[in-house]
Amino acid sequence: MRDRKVASRYAGALMASALAEGNLVDVAESYTGILDAVEGNLDLRTFLDSPQVASQEKKDLLKSVFGEKIENLLLHFFYLLIDKNRIENARDIGEEFAAMVEKHEGVVRARVTTAVALPDDLAASLSEKLSTFTGARVILENKIDPAVIGGVCVTMGDQILDGTVRTNLDELRNKLEKTQVRV
């Protein structure tokens, strides 16, 4: 079950702790690695999510699997999630945490929708222009949708820059439908 309030609260606490220790980027990378490892291993995920498994057993497993590979702060953060019965929220907390880290680092994600895959040179040029526009480093996430016909639609947060052929055709159709024609 997704609970954004819980995820935001825990992610904020982890962010503050990592900033205080001065290892925010390392903690963020380790968190992503742990989530990928747990996601890729059904047995590990089932073990951690199971209410029948004692908390100490979960902690011992985490320590043996990840103990020397991750920051002590992050290991104890996962212990806290286990103690508070919030380990099932780890993915949502991780997503919130990653978004907070990107914001802190001045990174903006932009979803770019095109009819065909965007060539690398155009993607780099678009990323550079969007970086100039936003004043932040932009990471493009390309989505292919043949329905746009041509052009590009960029979504960054709550901003949408739509220059697709589909949108222009729809606008033209609306104008033509509203226009009164005399015969």
pLDDT in the model for residue 72: 93
Percent of the chain with pLDDT over 70: 99
pLDDT surpassing 50 at residue 1: no
Identity of the residue numbered 12: G
What pLDDT is recorded for position 142?
A: 92
CATH number at 4-103: 1.10.520.20
Cβ-count burial 55-94 (b if 16+ within 10 Å, e if not): eeebbeebeeebeeebbebbbebbbebbeeebbebbebbb
Q: Tell whether the model's pLDDT for residue 61 goes beyond 50.
A: yes
pLDDT at 148: 87
Class of domain 106-178: alpha beta
Q: What average pLDDT does the structure give for the chain? A: 91
For residue 166, which amino acid is it? Answer: R
Structure confidence at residue 2 (pLDDT): 65
State the pTM of this model. 0.72
Which residue, 80, 99, 94, is CA-closest to 34?
94
Q: Where are the domains of the chain?
A: 4-103, 106-178
Which own/partner contact pairs does 32-37 have at CB distance under 8 Å and 24+ positions apart? 32/94, 32/98, 33/69, 33/70, 34/66, 34/70, 34/74, 34/78, 35/90, 35/91, 35/94, 37/65, 37/66
pLDDT tens digits, 125-170:
999 999 998 888 999 999 999 988 999 999 998 889 898 998 989 9
